[in-house]
Amino acid sequence: MKKDVLIRTALPTDVDSVLTLIKELADFERAPDAVNIQAQDLLEDGFGSHPAFTCFVAESDGKLVGMALGYPRYSTWDGKSMHLEDLIVSQSYRGLGIGFSLYKTFIHYAASQGVRRIEWAVLDWNQSAIDFYRKTGAEVLPDWRLVQMDNQAITDFITQYPHASI
Amino acid sequence: MKKDVLIRTALPTDVDSVLTLIKELADFERAPDAVNIQAQDLLEDGFGSHPAFTCFVAESDGKLVGMALGYPRYSTWDGKSMHLEDLIVSQSYRGLGIGFSLYKTFIHYAASQGVRRIEWAVLDWNQSAIDFYRKTGAEVLPDWRLVQMDNQAITDFITQYPHASI
């Protein structure tokens, strides 16, 4: 890795740059209009008294060029787990080992939290990512599919079934 | 739903029955040896001062016959999110609407927490579950795959790369 890249914990002042990286990843993932959050959300959700995520950033020449963002999960098979939501390196900084440094940082962080599983998701056409994850000992599960109920669907469901059973 | 089924929040005294349901689901998911946690883990992780999950149970004749277990997540596209880790109804109690009651309870709970997304995973051969989720407004994503690094792989990785970058 180039010597002038620093991996560090994200600061509140990083949220604009973090959002820029999130949008760059959304473009790469062919979902350019998917980012509905604002920098203010990241600030409130990640840097308050009960942060919803932990974020590591890669800094080069005072600019953020990559990030790894994750949070705890729970597995009813393995117990405490950690989710890697985003691993991002800006296009022009790829191939320098920055992604691997962020990945390594995140895995060490997860291990320090005592988790027995780290999990994340990958697009099935992103072969270079799949190859990378496999090489590091991770397993890509062929038979599980992600399911999502978005905000509109939640609202529609609640309207249709206004009474919870509890 | 049969009148004698009660949906309620799980209590510490439920952990043995919750573990039995988790093992029943693991059998159904063709992974009978996958459950590595003990009732004590569920007790410590779910009922302490910082619970790692929220669990709702279905009780009939003093017996737990179903459960829905989940926890908060975070989406860098949509912000605060909720994950449904397990939705389980014991085999002999299926077809009575208990699963739908638990699902409804969980969605109301998630909405009450202000999340803008609920997410979970489904096995690609579990067509009845897939049909059910779609009918309620959820989307099954065809192109994302789950990736997991298990405890052994984490240990191996840390051994091979003992120095985090931070």
CB–CB of A156 and B143 under 8 A? no
pLDDT score of B23: 96
Q: Looking at the domain assignment, is residue B162 inside a domain?
A: no
DSSP A3: T
Report how far Cα A78 is from the mean position of its chain's Cα atoms. 21
Structural domain including A47 reads: 5-140
Chain B touched by A34 (CB under 8 Å) = yes
CB–CB of B108 and A158 under 8 A? yes
What CATH number is attached to the domain comprising B133? Answer: 3.40.630.30
121-150 in chain A: CB under 8 A from chain B: 121-125, 130, 133, 136-150
Q: Looking at the domain assignment, is residue A161 inside a domain?
A: no
CB A86 within 8 A of CB A128: no
pLDDT score of B148: 98
Distance CA B162, CA B110 (A): 39
User: Which residues from B are below 8 Å from A10, CB to CB?
Assistant: none
Q: Looking at the domain assignment, is residue B159 inside a domain?
A: no
Q: Using the structure block, give the residue that is written with the tokens 């939290």.
A: A113
User: Which residues from B are below 8 Å from A9, CB to CB?
Assistant: 166
CB–CB of B144 and A146 under 8 A? yes
Q: Looking at the domain assignment, is residue B113 inside a domain?
A: yes
- Which of A8, A110, A165 has its CB closest to that of B7? A165
Report how far Cα A32 is from the mean position of its chain's Cα atoms. 17
3-state secondary structure of B132: helix
pLDDT score of B163: 86
Q: How many domains does chain B have?
A: 1
- The phi, psi pair for B158, rounded to 5°, reads -65, -35
CB A98 within 8 A of CB A66: yes
DSSP A153: H
Q: CA of A1, closest CA in chain B: separation in Å?
A: 11
Q: Complex ipTM, two decimals?
A: 0.94
Q: Looking at the domain assignment, is residue B150 inside a domain?
A: no
Over chain A, what is the mean pLDDT?
A: 95
pLDDT at B1 over 60: no
Q: Best-predicted range by mean pLDDT among A32-36, B28-32, B135-139?
A: B135-139
Q: Looking at the domain assignment, is residue B158 inside a domain?
A: no
pLDDT digits (tens, 9 = 90+) for B32-44: 999 999 999 999 9
CB–CB of B79 and A144 under 8 A? no
pLDDT at B2 over 80: no
CB A5 within 8 A of CB A65: yes
Distance CA B44, CA B28 (A): 26
pLDDT score of B43: 98
pLDDT digits (tens, 9 = 90+) for A85-139: 999 999 999 999 999 999 999 999 999 999 999 999 999 999 999 999 999 999 9
Q: Structure tokens of A53?
A: 């995520």
Q: Looking at the domain assignment, is residue B147 inside a domain?
A: no
Distance CA A144, CA A132 (A): 20
pLDDT range class, residue A163, cuts 50, 70, 90: confident
Q: What is the average per-residue pLDDT within B115-142?
A: 97
pLDDT digits (tens, 9 = 90+) for B55-97: 999 999 999 999 999 999 999 999 999 999 999 999 999 999 9
pLDDT range class, residue B130, cuts 50, 70, 90: very high
CB–CB of A144 and B164 under 8 A? no
With a CB cutoff of 8 Å and minimum separation 6, the contacts of B68 are B55, B56, B84, B86, B87, B88, B102, B103, B105, B106
pTM, two decimal places: 0.94
With a CB cutoff of 8 Å and minimum separation 6, the contacts of B22 are A76, A77, B35, B37, B86, B88
Q: Looking at the domain assignment, is residue B11 inside a domain?
A: yes
pLDDT at A166 over 90: no
Distance CA B75, CA A161 (A): 25
Chain B touched by A8 (CB under 8 Å) = yes
